[in-house]
Chains A and B, each alone.
Chain A
Amino acid sequence: MKTAGRMNRRQSTLIFLVCAAGVLAVVMIMGIALEDAALETDFSRTNLAPCPEYLFGTDWMGRDMFVRTLAGLSLSIRIGILTAAVSAVMALLLGTAAAMLGSRADAVISWVIDLVMGIPHILLVMLISIACGRGFAGVVAGVSLSHWPSLARVIRGEVLQLKQAPYILAAEKLGASRIANVRRHMIPHLLPQFLTGTILLFPHAILHEASVTFLGFGLSSEQPAIGVILSESMQYLTTGRWWLALFPGLCLVAVVILFALLGERARMLLDPSSVHE
């Protein structure tokens, strides 16, 4: 039972959602603001271990690793949002098309979904990224063109099921127009799936962006991307400069976990089966 003064699950989940989104937004904005500072070199402070002044230490060119990490995370989050948005729109369009345009369209789209899902993500991202000339455009194209199939498949299934749902058929017989049906019955069922699917795309997108960049097929090395930071730092690990890779890596994992939790909580709030918990 709910007791006075304590929050219920819904409220605490909402507060968590707002906080997590806030943290990510702050990281993103600070990263944009610090982009120039991240490139600043100062040879009077090279290779400093973490200390109160430089929380994450400095690298061999005297760049402040904390600022670099923030800038890298910010770039990752922005790429994540962009690619997840593109992927989600593709998934929505293709999924609905497969369900609504008849069996032939369905066969074609399902085949494409299987095809894209059949190729390992990282390989596909690399191939598309190289084909699109690497850099920002390459990474965005690669990640967004490879992440839509699973969400498209969910949406296709959901629309197929809704199309046959007795309550929608009955509403039609009661004179409800197509548009009214879509607005009243279909969108409320589809939206939660779509939103959570979209949010859960972020962590994937961010990780894949960082890995292709790490492998050298993504963003160019002068950009302060987490993948670039990690791959450069690997050379210095053996010389005992552990802070170069550890903190940026941990931060990347933290951001990914935060996004994953965000998606999970959003699902709990929006999903019909747990919405009244």
Chain B
Amino acid sequence: MILEAKSITFYYRGRKKSPVLNNYSISIRSGERVGLKAPSGRGKTTLCRLLAGYEKPQSGKILLDGKPVTAYRGVCPVQMVWQHPETVVDPLLRLGETLAEAGPVDERIRGALHIEEGWLSRFPAELSGGELQRFCLARALHPETKFLLCDEISAMLDLVTQAQIWKFLLEEAEKRGMGMLVVSHSDGLLEKVCTRIAAI
């Protein structure tokens, strides 16, 4: 499969004069891990949101195998993992319910991400950012996910946990032939994880 952004232009409402992305193109194939590195405010997160179908570009197209990414019904094959996990889980739901949002999560994934049984009955406010990020990852690694967009997913984690999570993600991507977009400020991480680096 191939996920492409074809000459997209995007600006937030009322800021037509300074578009976040101007005539930008990128493509990611299955099995590819593309690194994205740019200073703050250049539209890395916006690009992720666009590719995952959270926003629509003002011009240009975002296609998954030639079909607009927003046209996919049910579980979207392009899943995004957000930089701030605490905003992506409902504060009033126990994490077990949040995790099961798109059907039960594989025991193997849960184990590999070190999600403890006891966490499932807790509320998000009781866990740390790093612990919540594991839930977001587990949820995003739905069997139907073909592309995973990682928006600085490990910025708030300690090095040991980072290594753990990335090791698992790489294995998983390899096994499924999943395409990935990795946004990070860390050169070392991008070098280690990605098959190629793109600019924005």
Residues of A that sit less than 8 Å from B by CB: 165-171, 173-176, 184-185, 188-189, 272, 276
Contacts and interface: CB of A to CB of B under 8 A. Distances in A.
A277 to B, nearest CB: 12
Contacts of B155: none
A146 B142 CA distance: 50
Contacts of B73: 175
Contact of B102 (A169, A175, A184): A175
A167 B102 contact: no
Contact of B88 (A170, A176, A184): A170
A174 B90 contact: no
A171 B101 contact: yes
Nearest to B49: A169
A174 B102 contact: yes
A169 B75 CA distance: 12
Contacts of A171: 90, 101
Contacts of B97: 184
Contacts of B54: 169, 173
A168 B98 CA distance: 11
B48 to A, nearest CB: 12
Contact of A175 (B52, B76, B90): B76
29 contacts: A166-B87, A167-B87, A167-B89, A167-B90, A168-B90, A169-B54, A170-B82, A170-B88, A170-B139, A171-B90, A171-B101, A173-B52, A173-B53, A173-B54, A173-B75, A173-B76, A173-B79, A174-B75, A174-B76, A174-B139, A174-B142, A175-B73, A175-B74, A175-B75, A175-B76, A175-B102, A176-B102, A184-B97, A272-B91
A166 B82 contact: yes
A185 B97 CA distance: 11
Nearest to B126: A276
Interface string B93-120: 1000110011000000000000000000
Contacts of A169: 54
B101 A174 contact: yes
Contacts of A173: 52-54, 75-76, 79-80
B92 interface: yes
A173 B79 CA distance: 7
Nearest to A176: B101
Interface residues on B, range: 20 to 34
Given A169-B54, A170-B139, 4 more contacts: A166-B88, A175-B102, A185-B90, A276-B123
Contacts of B74: 175
Q: Which of B80, B89, B92 has the most CB of A within 10 A?
A: B92
Contacts of B80: 170, 173
A171 B139 CA distance: 10
Q: Which of A169, A174, A184 has the most CB of B within 10 A?
A: A174
Given A166-B82, A166-B87, A173-B52, A272 B75 contact: no
B30 to A, nearest CB: 19
Q: Which of A171, A173, A176, A272 has the most CB of B within 10 A?
A: A173
A190 to B, nearest CB: 11
Nearest to A168: B90
Interface string B64-90: 000000000111100110100001111
Contacts of A272: 91-92
A116 to B, nearest CB: 29
B144 to A, nearest CB: 9
Interface in B153-182: none
Contacts of A276: 123, 125
Nearest to A275: B92
Contacts of A174: 75-76, 79, 101-102, 139, 142
Nearest to B139: A174
Contacts of B89: 167
Q: Which of B74, B101, B102, B123 has the most CB of A within 10 A?
A: B101
